[in-house]
């Protein structure tokens, strides 16, 4: 019955089972009709510049639009705010209350941590970064994965998404417990975490475990930047190698260690705040939000002038805690919602393992030469300067002679 549930059902797996055959058929038809359509032009700059701007991935859960900002399932945030029902007693959008209750209870049932993971976390040294601890714990949770066992037994590939779903639901349920345990060990002298309350939602339980109150703020950051950013792409790539969600998300989580991606958030926070509140509209006189508002007005106009950014409009992330190193743990916990949802869709839609063709610099230079008709002018490694100079002189002479011929042909008839 769950496999035929409607979109209003409270059973998430049933809702997905109802949607996926329709989406599979839609994509199959689309590929049959337009499979040879060219989507993106790739330049040498793109290849050397980190593949920025190349349209080469399909990622269902979110897309980053330069004008509309982030879009979820085809809808911008303002559109989503209008389409979704409002939270009870509030102004912000939320799915149907019955669905939220079902999902909260489902995650509460799956939240218990294996004893070996708790022991490992308790034995980590205090100088091990919290995001390294989280990554190690996620990998260790792989001991309970459903997918490897079923795959070894020969499960049909059309059932892969169901196994990925079960693992993803288990992992999402356990992440707040792992993250809270890390926080208590590092910053609260190993205090025990509160038990999961099935009457509270996922975020509320998390904040209770962190600070024994519901006043902390967990970032709402389920997924952004579509599929090409470091963490989303890492999970997508590793998952399509048929690694289970635990290993896929552990790979995705390593993004947080790089100062050009996840760790940049910690650095920014350390430079702008020592304490936090919830929102500018509720606390207009808060010094932190005043500072952020000024940065938002001033910095975007400066960056293009310095050549630092083509699109200066920033992502807005917020921490709400004073332990800056812990920022990426919160970031990672909430990010799991987006990347694991995409893993499920990737398997349901049969996305293959990515295997893009790479080229060496020499090979790329030869390719460019052949396209321009200037074979060999770059030489091996682009260092044959004499050959290139000789070619340029010859080309200049040829063009000069060509111009004279044109002039002669033009003037000739007038002389006769």
Residue in the block written with tokens 């790539």:
237
DSSP single-letter state for residue 357: -
Cα separation, 134 vs 137, in Å, equals: 5
Cα separation, 353 vs 362, in Å, equals: 27
The rounded radius of gyration (Å) of the Cα atoms in the chain is 27
Per-residue pLDDT tens for 152-180? 999 999 999 999 999 999 999 999 999 99
Beta carbons of 249 and 340 less than 8 angstroms apart: yes
Beta carbons of 181 and 193 less than 8 angstroms apart: yes
Tell me how crowded residue 216 is: count the other CB atoms within 10 A of its CB: 19
Predicted pLDDT at 398:
67
Predicted pLDDT at 254:
74
Predicted pLDDT at 369:
86
Beta carbons of 121 and 133 less than 8 angstroms apart: yes
Beta carbons of 331 and 317 less than 8 angstroms apart: yes
3-state secondary structure labels for all residues of 186-203: HHCCCCCCCCCCCCCCHH
Distant-in-sequence, close-in-space partners of 293: CB < 8 Å, separation ≥ 6: 280
Per-residue pLDDT tens for 271-288? 444 334 545 566 677 776
Which run of H or E residues covers position 371? helix 361-372
**Cα three-residue angle 62-63-66, rounded to 5 degrees:** 145
Cα separation, 70 vs 317, in Å, equals: 13
Tell how strand 75-76 and strand 62-65 pair up: unpaired
Beta carbons of 255 and 234 less than 8 angstroms apart: yes
Give how far Cα 20 sits from Cα of 11, 345, 346, 367, Å: 15, 8, 11, 42
Predicted pLDDT at 377:
55
Helix (H, G, I), strand (E, B) or coil at 238: helix
Q: Which residues of the chain have pLDDT under 70?
A: 1-8, 65-69, 212-226, 255-283, 288-289, 292, 296, 299-300, 303-304, 306-321, 373-416
Cα separation, 168 vs 342, in Å, equals: 10
Cα separation, 17 vs 3, in Å, equals: 5
Closest to 120 (Cα-Cα) out of 135, 136, 132:
136
């Amino acid at each position: 019955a769950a496999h035929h549930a409607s979109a209003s059902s409270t059973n998430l797996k049933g809702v997905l089972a109802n949607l996926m055959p329709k989406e599979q058929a839609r994509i199959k038809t689309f590929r049959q009709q337009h499979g040879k359509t060219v989507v993106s032009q790739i330049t040498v700059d793109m290849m050397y510049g980190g593949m920025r701007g190349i349209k080469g991935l399909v990622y269902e859960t979110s897309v980053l639009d330069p004008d509309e900002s982030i879009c979820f399932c085809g809808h911008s945030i303002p559109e989503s705010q209008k389409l979704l029902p409002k939270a009870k007693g509030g102004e912000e959008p939320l799915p149907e209350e019955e669905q939220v209750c079902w999902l909260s209870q489902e995650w509460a049932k799956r939240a218990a941590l294996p004893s070996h993971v708790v022991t490992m976390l308790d034995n980590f040294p205090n100088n091990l970064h919290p995001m390294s601890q989280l990554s190690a714990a996620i990998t260790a949770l792989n001991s309970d994965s459903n997918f490897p066992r079923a795959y070894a037994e020969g499960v049909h590939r059309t059932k892969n998404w169901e196994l990925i779903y079960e693992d993803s639901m288990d992992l999402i349920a356990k992440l707040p417990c792992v993250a809270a345990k890390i926080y208590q060990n590092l910053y609260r002298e190993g205090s025990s975490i509160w038990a999961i309350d099935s009457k509270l939602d996922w975020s509320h339980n998390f904040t209770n475990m962190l600070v024994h109150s519901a006043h902390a703020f967990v970032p709402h950051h389920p997924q952004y930047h579509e599929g090409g950013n470091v963490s989303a792409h890492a999970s997508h790539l590793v998952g399509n190698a048929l690694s289970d969600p635990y290993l896929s998300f552990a790979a995705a989580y390593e993004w947080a260690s790089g100062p050009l991606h996840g760790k940049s958030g910690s650095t920014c926070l350390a430079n702008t705040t020592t304490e936090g509140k919830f929102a500018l509209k509720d606390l207009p006189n808060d010094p932190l939000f005043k500072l952020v508002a000024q940065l938002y007005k001033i910095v975007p106009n400066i960056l293009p002038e310095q050549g630092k950014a083509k699109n200066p409009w920033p992502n807005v992330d917020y921490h709400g805690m004073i332990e800056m190193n812990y920022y990426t743990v919160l970031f990672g916990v909430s990010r799991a919602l987006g990347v694991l949802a995409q893993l499920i869709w990737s398997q349901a839609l049969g996305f293959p393992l990515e295997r893009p063709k790479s080229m060496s610099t020499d090979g790329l230079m030869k390719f460019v030469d052949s396209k321009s008709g200037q074979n060999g002018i770059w030489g091996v490694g682009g260092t044959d300067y004499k050959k290139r100079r000789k070619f340029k002189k010859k080309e200049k002479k040829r063009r000069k002679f060509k111009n004279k011929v044109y002039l002669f042909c033009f003037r000739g008839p007038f002389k006769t």
